[in-house]
């Protein structure tokens, strides 16, 4: 994500769960390349041990570099919600819990806090507890040590006064026995919301569990490979979206980066982020599901790359309606280089469609707003979908709030959503 430069609109942008008001102050892990693909030896697998090794998680879609916000994945907030063209789809009061009939097989449960449409869970760390954003759009986890009363969590192996360094944090207990894990230090004081954000739980943790999020009842359910049967999900009215090759508990099964970027280095793999098929105007793309992408001011925001934009126009020239007043200019990880993004509404009769395993439309959203990313050559090192040559998108949090619930299954590489 990048920070919007001057526009006639107010803005608030989420950095992996952190709302940034015009500026950012956070950093990636030491020696990690920003937004780079995962580069693994053939033998590497996502196991509990890997959770503690920040170097195993290289792609950082939602990280900032000091004052510069790095990835435009989370560019969201430019207009008033009243401007969204499908008012029926804009809601913070979803239907009754779609997960109600599945609770017996969903596993351990805990409360969720939904703050600015982003889910938070309270995580014990020794004698402390902190609210961590569940962000499926970032591949490494982080902590704001200043969010805890002194002396705070015990750490080692780092200078805890610095941002962007990897610290070993003792007594961390995210649905497991307390243990020492590696977390990157960040500063989330600028986050506006109902909780003081203490950190981010990324896919280095969430790819090791089946997790179901109930936005309608503010509950999180955490299971293992022994999970609800497919028949139970379908009986409860859910459809499955394939994330094969993009979200998994076994990093060896991630697709080569060349699948989405023709210029990718040999041996590089895609980031371990839930990525599912979508369509607009008959054109297909792969969309990252980013639960940390707060789009409170522009509900149903979707970032798309130029390849997806061109595919939509080629398939249906009338599908997109230019909305120049919503355009943004974004900073990049390269000082002095900005990235403009163009805003488009969907024409009447068109929708953003989530496509199920069977090829059917699982859900459709005629009120989506598309922001087109065309990463300049000078900022290609920053990575992100704007550098992909395959059609791609990133989906914001309001979609999941409207759904009421969804579940991420890294063992089967699927996402379950209520069908309609």
298 token code pair: 């522009």
Give the model's pLDDT for residue 57. Answer: 33
Those residues whose C-beta lies under 8 Å from the C-beta of residue 107, and which sit 6 or more positions away, are 210, 221, 222, 223, 224, 227
- Answer whether residue 45 shows pLDDT above 80: no
Report the pLDDT value the prediction gives residue 210, as an integer from 0 to 100.
97
| 227 assigned to some structural domain | yes
Q: Which of 16-30, 89-103, 266-280 has the highest mean pLDDT?
A: 266-280
Buried-exposed string 289-312: b where 16+ CB fall within 10 A, e elsewhere:
bbbbbbbbbbbbbbbbbbbbbebb
**Residue 4 falls inside a structural domain:** no
Q: What is the pLDDT of residues 210-221, one digit of tens each?
A: 999 999 999 999
Overall average pLDDT of the 19-36 stretch = 33
- Beta-sheet pairing, 155-156 with 166-172: antiparallel
pLDDT at 326: 86
**pLDDT-derived band of residue 341, with 50, 70 and 90 as boundaries?**
confident
R_g (Cα) of the chain, nearest Å:
20
Domain region containing 323: 13-418
pLDDT at 197: 98
- How many other CB atoms are found less than 10 A from the CB of residue 109? 16
Query: How confident is the model over 162-199, as pLDDT tens digits?
Result: 999 999 999 999 999 999 999 999 999 999 899 999 99
Asked whether residue 118 is domain-assigned, the answer is yes
Q: What percent of the chain has pLDDT over 70?
A: 77
Q: What pLDDT is recorded for position 332?
A: 80
Residue 148: predicted pLDDT: 98
Q: Classify residue 370: in a domain, yes or no.
A: yes
For residue 388, pLDDT over 90 is answered with: yes
The mean-pLDDT minimum among 32-46, 244-258, 346-360, 372-386 falls in 32-46
Residue 141 has pLDDT above 80, yes or no: yes
Per-residue model confidence (pLDDT) at position 16? 35
Do the domain assignments include residue 6?
Answer: no
DSSP 309: H
- For 229, residues 6+ apart whose C-beta sits below 8 A from its C-beta are 105
Checking if the pLDDT of 87 tops 50, the result is: no
pLDDT at 95: 59
Supply the pLDDT for residue 55: 31
* pLDDT greater than 60 at residue 208: yes
| For residue 392, pLDDT beyond 50 | yes
Distance CA 154, CA 157 (A): 11
**φ/ψ of residue 51, rounded to 5:** -60, -30
Query: Does residue 236 register a pLDDT over 60?
Result: yes
* pLDDT band for position 92 (cuts 50, 70, 90): very low
pLDDT at 355 over 50: yes
| Max CA pair span of the chain | 59
Tokens 């290609």 -> residue: 380
410 close to 207: Cβ distance less than 8 angstroms: yes
The whole-angstrom separation of Cα 173 and Cα 151 is: 18
User: How many domains does one find in the chain?
Assistant: 1
Q: For residue 1, is it within any domain?
A: no
User: Is 41 a member of any domain?
Assistant: yes
**pLDDT for residue 382:** 83
Chain mean pLDDT for the chain: 81
- Mean pLDDT, residues 383-399 taken together: 95
Predicted pLDDT at 244:
98
Q: Residue 177: its pLDDT value, please?
A: 95
| 385 CB neighbour count, 10 Å cutoff | 30
Query: How much is the pLDDT for 248?
Result: 98
pTM for the predicted model, two decimal places: 0.80
Residues 6+ apart with CB under 8 A from 61: 1, 35, 71, 73, 137, 138, 139, 271, 273, 288, 290, 383, 384, 394
Query: pLDDT over 90 for what percent of the chain?
Result: 68
């Amino acid at each position: 994500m990048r920070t919007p430069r001057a526009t006639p609109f107010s803005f608030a942008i989420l950095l992996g769960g952190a709302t940034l008001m015009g500026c950012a102050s956070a950093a990636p892990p030491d020696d990690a390349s920003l937004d780079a693909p995962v580069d693994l030896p053939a033998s590497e697998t996502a196991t509990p041990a890997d959770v503690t090794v920040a170097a195993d998680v290289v792609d950082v879609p939602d990280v900032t570099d000091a004052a510069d916000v790095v990835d435009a994945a989370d560019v969201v907030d430019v207009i008033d919600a009243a401007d969204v063209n499908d008012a029926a789809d804009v809601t913070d009061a979803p239907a009754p819990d779609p997960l109600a009939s599945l609770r017996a097989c969903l596993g351990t449960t805990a409360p969720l806090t939904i703050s600015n449409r982003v889910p938070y869970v309270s995580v014990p760390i020794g004698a402390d507890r902190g609210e961590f954003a569940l962000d499926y759009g970032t591949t490494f986890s982080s902590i704001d040590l200043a969010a805890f009363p002194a002396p705070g969590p015990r750490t080692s192996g780092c200078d805890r006064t610095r941002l962007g360094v990897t610290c070993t944090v003792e007594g961390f207990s995210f649905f497991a026995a307390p243990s020492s894990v590696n977390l990157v230090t960040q500063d989330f004081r600028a986050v506006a919301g109902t909780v003081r954000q203490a950190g981010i739980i990324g896919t280095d943790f969430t790819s090791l569990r089946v997790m179901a999020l109930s936005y309608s009842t503010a509950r999180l359910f955490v299971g293992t490979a022994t999970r609800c049967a497919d028949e139970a999900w379908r009986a409860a009215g859910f459809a499955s979206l394939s994330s094969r090759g993009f979200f998994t508990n076994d990093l060896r099964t991630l697709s080569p980066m060349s699948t989405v970027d023709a210029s990718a280095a040999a041996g590089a793999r895609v980031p371990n982020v839930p990525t599912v098929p979508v369509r607009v105007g008959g054109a297909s793309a792969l969309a990252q599901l980013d639960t940390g992408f707060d789009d409170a001011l522009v509900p149903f925001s979707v970032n798309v790359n130029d390849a997806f934009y061109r595919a939509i126009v080629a398939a249906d020239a009338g599908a997109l309606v230019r909305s120049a007043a919503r355009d943004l200019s974004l900073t990049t990880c390269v000082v002095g280089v900005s990235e403009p993004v163009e805003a488009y509404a969907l024409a009447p009769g068109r929708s953003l469609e989530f496509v199920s395993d069977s090829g059917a439309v699982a859900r459709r959203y005629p009120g989506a707003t598309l922001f087109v990313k065309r990463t300049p050559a000078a900022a290609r090192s920053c990575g992100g979908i704007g550098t992909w040559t395959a059609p791609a998108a990133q989906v914001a949090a309001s979609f999941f709030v409207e759904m009421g619930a969804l579940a991420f299954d890294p063992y089967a590489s699927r996402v379950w959503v209520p069908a309609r």
